[in-house]
Amino acid sequence: MNVSVAEAKNKLTQLLQQVEKGERVTICRHGKPVVDMIPTAESDRRPRQFGTLRDRIKILDPDWAKPQNDVEAWLRGDV
């Protein structure tokens, strides 16, 4: 099915329903095809599982969250 840009703007909902049924819709500008609307393939992406990296993350510096001396000096205004 070929439709103009203006017709696509006015009938987008109906065109999407046609695409959902498996029909290919081509939107044309000045009679030239611009884009094809086709049904999308189902995603093969699995849902995320939390906790899969448990016991795999190693903290190399146990004091990483403690302020550094230069930061403390800056906060005091010594720098």
Q: How many CB atoms lie within 10 A of CB 37?
A: 18
- Exposure of 49 in the CB half-sphere (CA atoms within 13 A): 5
Task: Give the percent of the chain with pLDDT over 90.
Answer: 47
Cα–Cα distances in angstroms (integers) from residue 79 to residues 3, 52, 72, in the given order? 69, 44, 10
**Nearest-angstrom CA–CA distance, 6 and 10:** 6
What are the tens digits of pLDDT across the range 39-77?
Answer: 988 767 788 888 888 888 887 888 877 766 777 777 888
pTM above 0.85, yes or no: no
The dihedrals phi and psi of 50, each to the nearest 5 degrees, come to -80, 145
